[in-house]
Structure 1
Amino acid sequence: MHEYGKAIGDCEWALKVRSVCCSVVRSSVCVQLSVWRWRANGSGNMFRGRCLKFLSTLCKIPFLTQCSAKCIKAYFLMGKAHLALKHYDESRQCYQKLLQLDPQKESLFKDCMNEVNLEEKRMQEEDRAMKAFQSGKHAALSINDLLQKLNRPDQNILYYTGGIHVLTGAVKECTEQTLFRTNNGFSIINDNEVIRRGFCAERKSTAEVDLCVSLLSLWQAVCAGNEENQRLLLTHPDVNAQLSELLCSGVLEIQKETLALIALYSDNENGRRLLVRHQDLSRWLQILVMFVNSTDARASSAMSILSDLIQEEKFKAQCRLTFSTSVLPLFTQLLASAKLVDQAALSRCIGITGNLCADAAIRVQMAECNECWQACLQLVDGCADVDTPKYRECVFAVLGLMMNLLLESNSIIQCLAVDITGRCMSLLRDQDGRTVTRATGVLSRILAASSLAVEEAVKGGVVKKMIKFLKAGGQTTSSYAIKTVSICTRSSRQAQEEVVKSDKKFGVLLKLLDSENEMIVGNAAFCLGQCLVVPGAATSLLNSNIVMALLKHAGGDAARTSVQENAAIALGKLCVAEPRHIFQLRELNGMAILNSSMKYVHSS
């Protein structure tokens, strides 16, 4: 270590190197060399030079990797050091080695590689911009000239508004965006007191509104496709604090331009991460959902932003904290007034909320809200009066939401099971196949919550309808339909008899046993086992391949053990109800499987 300290030429720096190296071994906290880089960029040349020497030496110290054959912190540290020295390929190699040593660090690896890529892109952009400026290109020179004019203090607000408007028109490509940044454009604009007062004013005058709209247009121009500019803008305190306020502005043009600016961030992963890191998006969810009440393009823009943000798990985590108190009442109100709002935006909003339900905490909050369930049913009822494509999309979306909520089980769902079942039964006659499929999906989940719901569904002819759907085929519909029939036959003798009557010689169920979908196979075997108690059902299968089909699954290696158990139970019941099936079972050497299956028969 002493030799490397001499290489730096300063005892103090030698101690720093030694301290950093030792921390690789004994500390669980990775050294953040970005701090050194920031200090180097912001200080004098002498300090910067010493920092660079420190980093350069750090990159070359064998001790970092010799201290442990699998010291991922060492490679992380060297990757940071190489990045600070603009050794991009070497930095990537360090991070790749880190991933090889510990594949579970893939998330860290992606973040580090993204940092390298963005930094390299930033430097390349600045090199090109500098060359354009030095070559005297008019577009490049004009950016600097316009910024110098805007840098004049204490001018009239109209002066700045006009200058910003002209500057916006001059920013056409990446070169101009970069020159705006490297010529201190963000500081010149954001630190100007007149501009700042107008931008942050709560009640804006006409001149302040014009300034704000012009400023938002400028930010769009300088940030479109430029990650570094996006970062600098969003980390500025005034902009960071004002975005949500601008979204709530009563001025239509300000809202439109703010939504357009936010969309630049939300449509790419880096931008979304910036939003999640620097904004309170739980409040944004409420604000953006409110735009469904708008009758213009703002509603669609807001839903597009939400569709993007929903991809971020951290966004969902932020939303769960205040969802039940701030968002859920608003969402319920929108469902109840579906006939009055932008239905295209509402259907998207419902779909987004359904995706939010992938978060268990949010799903529980919604599933326990009686008002939300009632609003869903009210929306479904409305399709009898409003038969338009947009309203049908809302019905389709709300059925999907209900399916997600039915992953939960609670007293409210049990109390509403009969009502939900009745709405879905009426939708089984709908002309839209997608709606029929989702209504069937809701039935496949709600019927398990209530025996009364099963009774009402069976009386309404659900078994006959499901057999009809199963005959028509279709993977998704078949999965929902066979599960629905299984639930009904589990507790209803009438349902069992209707299956025997509607599915002659169990042709449909036998076909389902050959499905590649294990869930379908398991439910088909269960349903078959339930129906074999009907007199004559087992006898009708004497000349079929039922024994071979059930034997294959009972002795198979399906990932779902329920497939084996249900097939074994059905096989046992088949032989109990009609002993002549045992002869075929013996021919297929399946007696051992039958004997093992009897324990399931006795317990079922």
Structure 2
Amino acid sequence: AFMSALEKDAEERGRRRQKNMKEANEIKEKGNVEFRQGNYEKAAQFYTQAIEKVRDNTALYTNRAQAYNKLGRYEEALKDCDWAIRVFENCLKAYIHQGKAYLGLKNYDAAVESYEKARKIDPTKEKVINDYIAEVELARRSEEEEATALSVFESGDEETKTIHEVIQKLQRTDQPTVFYCGGMRVAVNFLVNTNERTVFRLNGGLDLLKNHHVLSRCISAAADVLKPDEVELCCAAADMYTAACIDNEENQKQVMEVPDFPLHVLGFLSAKKKGLASLKASFMTFLFTLSQYGVGRQKILVTMEMS
């Protein structure tokens, strides 16, 4: 009778676990839908509900860690990765998301260590993991460059001071298009070394693409409908961003991550209207410059795949 009761109890626990697993997977799928739509907070909430049903499923923890990383909640992501690794020591995704969380916290050595552990678990993922490590090293290098550039700027360096002043003038909203063209042409002459290109980024130079009321409108328009002065503005912008991206992969990364900007560049290059040779030449030079660097090449390839 005792053994019979134990068997019955084990069967009941098994049925209950199967039921919980089924419900957890259904909830997880809801989280996956929200995640794909960019609703990371909602996704994390669904993954939390699923974890309450089943506490030893690594996928639930790694999925929530991924959502937390997207939300910038890196400490919470690390806790989930730790739990996933406790459940399954060789959980590849846990080490990947752990590396991303450490990167978000600017703990570069720990991020590389996490990625190295992931590589040992699955050597076939070496190329992807090398890309992750390269991302860490870029972030580390960019942070060092920013510290140096700020020190130079604060010391009263004339060139970086001029970059700062030019961007301030470009951010004015009450000027004609030709004024902004002239400002961008001036900026090109001062974007000649790492400090100047970094100060350009730190002072919002890259953000002009999405925030400048005239430039963002012109860049997002079809080339065929641009007026001559607007075409000239786009040419000046392309030349300015080309200068800003030389030997500066962080600038390349951020410029090519401006929403839809890479697709607008391809749109300019494929325009049929006559009289746009200078516009096409400027953006071809921009893409060629980026293609000389690993980060730039990668971003161009991603754009080509999207188009």
TM-score (norm 2): 0.71
- Aligned mates of 1:64, 1:223 — CA distance in 2: 40
Shift of 1:124: 1.7
Shift of 1:263: 0.8
**Aligned pair 1:130/2:130, yes or no?**
no
Shift of 1:189: 4.5
Change (3 A) 1:120 1:19: farther
**Aligned pair 1:115/2:147, yes or no?**
no
- Aligned mates of 2:286, 2:153 — CA distance in 1: 28
Cα deviation 1:130-156 (Å, max 9, x = unaligned): 222222222222222111111110311
Change (3 A) 1:24 1:274: farther
**Aligned pair 1:68/2:93, yes or no?**
no
- Aligned mates of 1:275, 1:93 — CA distance in 2: 29
Amino acid at match of 2:256: L
Which ranges in structure 1 are unaligned for 5 or more consecutive residues? 1-11, 41-50, 283-604
Change (3 A) 1:101 1:221: same
The one of 253, 256, 265 equivalent to 1:234 is 256
| Greater CA drift, 121-130 or 28-37 | 28-37
- Aligned mates of 2:198, 2:136 — CA distance in 1: 18
**Aligned pair 1:27/2:49, yes or no?**
no
| Greater CA drift, 31-40 or 243-252 | 31-40
The one of 186, 193, 205 equivalent to 1:173 is 193
- The corresponding residue for 2:229 is 207
- Aligned mates of 2:127, 2:241 — CA distance in 1: 31
**Aligned pair 1:252/2:284, yes or no?**
no
| Greater CA drift, 96-105 or 265-274 | 265-274
Shift of 1:213: 1.7
Amino acid at match of 2:248: N
Amino acid at match of 2:296: G
Change (3 A) 1:198 1:103: closer
Q: Is the 8 A contact 1:31 1:77 kept in 2?
A: no
- Aligned mates of 1:86, 1:189 — CA distance in 2: 27
- Aligned mates of 1:24, 1:164 — CA distance in 2: 56
- The corresponding residue for 2:247 is 225
Change (3 A) 1:37 1:73: closer
TM-score (norm 1): 0.38
- Aligned mates of 2:184, 2:230 — CA distance in 1: 13
The one of 45, 54, 60 equivalent to 2:76 is 54
The one of 291, 295, 298 equivalent to 1:266 is 291
Which ranges in structure 2 are unaligned for 5 or more consecutive residues? 1-43
Correspondence 1:380-399 to 2 at 5 A: none
- Aligned mates of 2:142, 2:64 — CA distance in 1: 20
Shift of 1:72: 2.4
- The corresponding residue for 2:238 is 216
Correspondence 1:370-519 to 2 at 5 A: none
Change (3 A) 1:238 1:79: closer
Shift of 1:113: 1.1
Change (3 A) 1:34 1:221: farther
- Aligned mates of 1:143, 1:279 — CA distance in 2: 32
SS at match of 1:168: helix
- The corresponding residue for 1:100 is 120
- The corresponding residue for 1:164 is 184
- The corresponding residue for 1:393 is none
Shift of 1:35: 5.4
Shift of 1:267: 2.7
- Aligned mates of 1:188, 1:239 — CA distance in 2: 12
Bigger-Rg structure (1/2): 1
Cα deviation 1:329-386 (Å, max 9, x = unaligned): xxxxxxxxxxxxxxxxxxxxxxxxxxxxxxxxxxxxxxxxxxxxxxxxxxxxxxxxxx
Q: More relative contact order in 1 or in 2 (CA 8 Å, sep 6+)?
A: 2
